[in-house]
Amino acid sequence: MTTPILSTRAHSHDGTPLYVEAIGDPQAPPLLLIGGQATDHRMWDGIRDDLARAHRVIAYDHRGMGQSGRPLQPSFLASYSTRGFAQDALAVLDHLGVARAHVYGFSMGGRVAQWLAIDAPGRVAALVLGATTPGDAHGALRSPAAQAAMSGRDPAVRLPLFVSPGWLQQHPEFLSSLGLDGSRPVPLQVLKLHYLASQGHDAWDRLPEIAAPVLLLHGSADEVNPPANSALLAARIPGAQVQLIEGARHLYLWEFREQASRAVLDFLAAHPI
């Protein structure tokens, strides 16, 4: 049975429209999903039904992506930062009338979620940070080969960093959900702005201010954001827990879906809103 989907549009502080989808029981505890660099809400397609068994799951398109607005005038460019994206996330919660939510940020979305928990602590109940880092200034950097693959324009070169080739062969739908099949062309300027926002993240000095319970999930074979970053974050965030998924690459949440979704659900259940 397909879970009913509510689709709507929020507007960020600067008026940028943000496409939003919510699934699950409207009375269930809300869970905001914040996707990775240059992704839209469909990056969560593979797992959001899992999470909706216990939560009202909210996913949205980052500015510049999917069905959200693409403001590229000079006055809007400052909002293409992890802290600016956190303001977009807050606008989504405001639009839906959600006073407090669990938050699950993945990769760049984990960097965005750090700022959301720092700047709006009363709005974040429990926080899951997946495959993310504290930023390049203080984090464990990817290898030169992985960096070259991630900064290049050929998605085929990046795929082995995300999931194992054998799994990908069995799950071709993965490509469309992440926009890697060419079906959702994005202007190069937008891709560059997202890349610079993610690489420019630095909340290191403010991380000890995060008061929410935190789970750091990471694949042990992640070359995009090496797993040592979760240990670095845990050392800065009071009480944070680290859970490694053995053998998982960057997109553990798809390839190791059952294990990863269970870890998230168990953690959130242990920290009710």
Question: What digits encode the pLDDT tens for the residues 79-110?
Answer: 999 999 999 999 999 999 999 999 999 999 99
- The confidence score (pLDDT) of residue 183 equals 73
pTM (two decimals): 0.96
Mean pLDDT of the chain: 94
Task: Give the Cα separation of 80 and 30 in Å (integer).
Answer: 26
Question: What digits encode the pLDDT tens for the residues 199-237?
Answer: 999 999 999 999 999 999 999 999 999 999 999 999 999
- Residue 2: pLDDT over 60: no
- The confidence score (pLDDT) of residue 1 equals 41
* Span 5-269 CATH architecture: 3-Layer(aba) Sandwich (3.40)
Question: What digits encode the pLDDT tens for the residues 24-67?
Answer: 999 999 999 999 999 999 999 989 999 999 999 999 999 999 99
- The confidence score (pLDDT) of residue 196 equals 95
pLDDT-based confidence at residue 3 (cuts at 50, 70, 90): low
